[in-house]
Amino acid sequence: MIGITNGAFIALIALGYTLVYGIIELINFAHGDLFMLGTFVCLSTLTLLGFSTEVGTTGTPWFALLLAMLAAMIFCGLLNVLAERIAYRPLRRAPRLAPLISAIGVSFIFVNIGLFWQGPTPRRFPDLLPQYDFMSQLFGFTTLIRFTFKDLFVLALAIPLMLGLAWVIRSTRMGKAMRAVAQDSEMAQQMGIDVNRVIAFTFLLGGVLAGAASLMYGLYNNNTVFTLGFTAGLKAFTAAVLGGIGNVNGAALGGFVLGLLSALTVTYAGGQWENVGVFSLLVIILVFKPTGLLGQETGEKA
Amino acid sequence: MPLLEVQQVHTYYGNIQALKGVSLKVEKGEIVTLIGSNGAGKTTTLRTIAGVLRPRKGTVRMGDRDLTKVPANEIVRLGVAHSPEGRRIFSRMSVKENLEMGAYARTDPPAELAKDFERVYELFPRLKERLTQRAGTLSGGEQQMLAIGRALMARPTVLLLDEPSMGLAPVLVELVFKTIQDINAQGMTVLLVEQNAHMALSIAHRGYVLQTGRIVLSDSAKNLAENEMVRKAYLGEE
């Protein structure tokens, strides 16, 4: 189960990469670091509300968790929009390499903000969810497979978020505008769509999902560190590529596949093989299906 | 006052000058065609009117507004809809969604939109049969119908049509031109860019001949079709 749950964080972050790539063909290198800052916002909010890093004994403070998640979602959403406005929009018509380098720059800025904010050592994230394993306590199984309350918590948040995103893209006016801009931004503009607004909205969505993922990650793993964005970002980016970058369903699928695979590698081959397993799969997929699992054939645009 | 008036427009691609002072007028209810060979600047002219390209000099007047000063995504709201070269439908969206995108800028009540959907289905029954189909899977002719239908969904006052005959079988070209005439008969003003000068002049009221970024001739379609130079250069006659 740890695989599926990890897959859920990865999928949420991967969606942020794929949404942005889908619409402006930019690999937003700073996205993982945005997620890292999200975990810090959660941590600070919880500390501010009086839930320190000690294990909670008085039950789960749902309201505080909700506040922390909303704070991280709003923070990450707005910060992503700000980064787009300052660092990417002015380079919209520049060669593709320029915004890419700008994204790497934003990534460095975020990492250093994180370093300045919470220091270089890993920070403990309060353990506020009940320790409850449905498998052993409800059914009496004591196998490798566990399904804890934490797993349930993460999935119960992540899956509705993904379904919500799918609905926004499929059915709302803004979602349709997003798809139109992704396919042909010049024609979208001819339809009367304000392309800049749609792109800003896409960054907002990606940031909000990263913010939500950050609370889940913190509560699940009970730690965070300023370099978290690099590892989490790399995995999520891999998931996005695995599923077919630019494809929203693909990113979600890629996240879960990647989470499961890394859990399986850790269980059966040992922790040191985790990244080997993950990236071997990536290489294999890219060799045999370069567009990713659900990738679009690129000839379609013409 | 003409509905649409292009005055002394100079448009560049980087340092290359594509339009060297193009002027033309479109009156309400007309079909005006712009003919010329490849690279003469026909598409550039339409793209300048639609706001995709910005001229370095000159104005594009629509009523009392200068379109060159209006943001590109607002131009459709001033009544100019563009069916571009190469159709450029949203291929990964359904036929219905493409038509909805055409009406994106509309703010009038849904009942009014429904009327325009019906009108488009009447003009192009084939589209109605394929509403849920992905637009990219349509045939070339159907895609062209969709591109025109999408532009009509904006309920424009001027319709800009760029090469609607491109890549179509002759029988479909006939059908598309017949439809353009029908749309015009219902009161739509059309500015038509065509390589197929013969077809274009057969349905237009007036025409302009564009050569390397300049208008070299302008007359009624009938006179143009009889003009010696036009016959030799664009109608393929000796």
Chain A residues close to B136, C-beta within 8 Å: 300
Contact A202, A208 (CB under 8 A): no
> How far are the Cα atoms of A16, A51, A62, A69, A221 from residue A74, in angstroms, in the given order?
15, 21, 18, 9, 22
Residue A178 forms contact with B (CB below 8 Å): no
List, as ranges, residues 46-85 from B with C-beta within 8 Å of A: 50-52, 71-77, 81-82, 84
Q: Which two tokens stand for residue B161?
A: 């049509």
Contacts of residue A287, Cβ cutoff 8 Å, sequence gap at least 6: none
Q: What is the pLDDT of residue B86?
A: 93
Chain-chain contact of B72 with A190 (C-beta, under 8 angstroms)? yes
Chain-chain contact of B73 with A177 (C-beta, under 8 angstroms)? no
CA B162 from chain center: how many Å? 5
Length of chain B: 238
CATH of the domain at A145: 1.10.3470
Q: Which two tokens stand for residue A280?
A: 């071997």
Average pLDDT of the segment spanning A43-49: 91
Average pLDDT of the segment spanning B50-77: 95
* CB atoms inside a 10 Å sphere around CB A166: 15
Distance from CA of B76 to the nearest CA of A (A): 6
Q: What is the pLDDT of residue A142?
A: 63
The DSSP H or E segment spanning A4 is helix A2-24
Residue-averaged pLDDT of chain B: 94
For testing contact with chain B, the best of A93, A174, A191, A247 (most B CBs within 10 A): A191
Q: What is the pLDDT of residue B74?
A: 96
Chain-chain contact of B92 with A179 (C-beta, under 8 angstroms)? yes
Average pLDDT of the segment spanning B158-186: 94
Number of domains in chain A: 1
Q: Which domain holds residue A110?
A: 2-301
Model confidence over A102-139: pLDDT tens digits?
999 999 999 999 999 999 999 988 888 887 777 777 76
In this prediction the ipTM stands at 0.92
Nearest chain B residue to A247 by CA distance is B92
Nearest chain B residue to A196 by CA distance is B73
Distance from CA of A5 to the nearest CA of B (A): 32
* CB atoms inside a 10 Å sphere around CB B110: 10
Lowest mean pLDDT across A146-155, B91-100, B127-136: A146-155
Residue A301 forms contact with B (CB below 8 Å): yes
For testing contact with chain A, the best of B13, B43, B54, B73 (most A CBs within 10 A): B73
Chain-chain contact of A190 with B101 (C-beta, under 8 angstroms)? no
Residue type, A64: A
Nearest chain A residue to B49 by CA distance is A190
